[in-house]
Amino acid sequence: MSESRHHELLPLGEGDLPYSKGLLARALMATGVSAERAYELAQRVEEDLSVRRETAADPGRLEDLAQEVLGEDGGARIVRRLRRYEELKELDVPVVLLVGGATGTGKSTVATEVAYRLGITRVTSTDVVRQTMRAFFSNEFMPSIHASSFEAATAATGGDADVDPVLIGFLEQTRNVLVGVRAVVERALQEGWSTVIEGVHLVPGLLAPVEGAVVVHCVLAIDDEVDHASHFWVRDAASDGLRPVQKYLDALDDIRLIQDEIVDRARRAGSPVLVNTEMERTVATVMELVLESAEQHSLVGAYGRDG
């Protein structure tokens, strides 16, 4: 197993380990169950074990209780996800999750929450990569990385006259930053560690393919312009004014132009585009993408061994 995630047994009670209500609730939340329903099911399992005077629940009994609490379809679906979540921790390769999207679409919040649920401890952003590169490459040598993604037009050094300068600057900056991103990914692969990277520069089709990992690349978007603008007010409050809202509101048209470009490239590359209207739903969807990709990797591996 790769050492990319902290590993815990499925907390139903196994060997000398007793059933853990808290750990089961956490595992359920990792698969997309709301905190309220996760603790409700975990409590129901604990009560069932008490009545039967047992210290461990088998998966079949868990499915019965899940259907009782969550309904027949919901219970069966959650148990399948829980089994896939357990299989994810047995992967022999790391997970590389890439969360792209324009400024203000909730990338960092979603990426951080998914990393926590997956037990991935290495989380970074393309802005951190860009900031590091700025320490080594002067404004004179690489001007594009010394501006915000939506302000890079002022530093663009060329491009098609028919393309909006905002996009020319953004794409030039992106290609430079992705050199650093690739180095981060390669280091993670060398060490066998899973990693989550988020950032506006993770444009599908521009990052070279990654081998030797379960790779999930998705893009977040916000369709409604008013909703998009509201995210900057939240960011302003959360950062105590370090990310002043007016700067982003003034550039909203350019930010949404960049979003259109990222979404278009994602669809052409076949990468999932998730409209982030509700964080918990988006997190659950990203989790599902990771679980599906891990399951596919396991199936391919099993087929190769059998073949």
Tens-of-pLDDT digits for all 307 residues of the chain? Answer: 344 444 444 566 665 667 888 888 888 887 778 788 889 999 999 999 999 888 877 778 888 898 988 888 778 888 888 888 777 877 889 999 999 999 999 999 999 999 988 889 999 999 999 999 989 888 888 888 888 888 777 766 666 667 888 999 999 999 999 999 999 999 999 999 999 999 999 999 999 899 999 999 999 999 999 999 998 887 766 555 556 788 899 999 999 999 999 999 999 999 999 999 999 899 989 998 998 898 888 776 555 555 5
pTM of structure: 0.83
Phi/psi of residue 198, nearest 5 degrees: -125, 155
* Pairwise CA distance, residues 113 & 123, whole Å: 10
Query: What is the DSSP-derived secondary structure letter of residue 108?
Result: H
* Pairwise CA distance, residues 217 & 91, whole Å: 18
- pLDDT of 11 reads 61
Query: What is the DSSP-derived secondary structure letter of residue 240?
Result: T
Pair 177, 130: CB distance under 8 Å: yes
Pair 6, 119: CB distance under 8 Å: yes
* Pairwise CA distance, residues 47 & 44, whole Å: 5
* Pairwise CA distance, residues 188 & 40, whole Å: 37
The letter for the amino acid at 143 is: P
Token pair 């037990």: residue: 119
Instruction: Residue 104: name the closest of 250, 204, 208 by CA.
Output: 250
Q: Which residues contact 112 (CB under 8 A, 6 or more apart)?
A: 123, 196
- Considering the segment(s) 95-306 as one domain, its CATH architecture is 3-Layer(aba) Sandwich (3.40)
Token pair of 11, please?
């907390």
* Pairwise CA distance, residues 120 & 95, whole Å: 9
Pair 59, 68: CB distance under 8 Å: no
Torsion of CA 297, 301, 302, 307, to 10 degrees: 140
Starting at the edge strand found earlier in the chain, the sheet holding 195-198 runs: 123-125, 195-198, 95-101, 214-221, 273-275
- pLDDT of 240 reads 56
Detail the DSSP E strand segments found in the chain. 95-101, 123-125, 195-198, 214-221, 273-275
Residue 80 in 3-state DSSP? helix
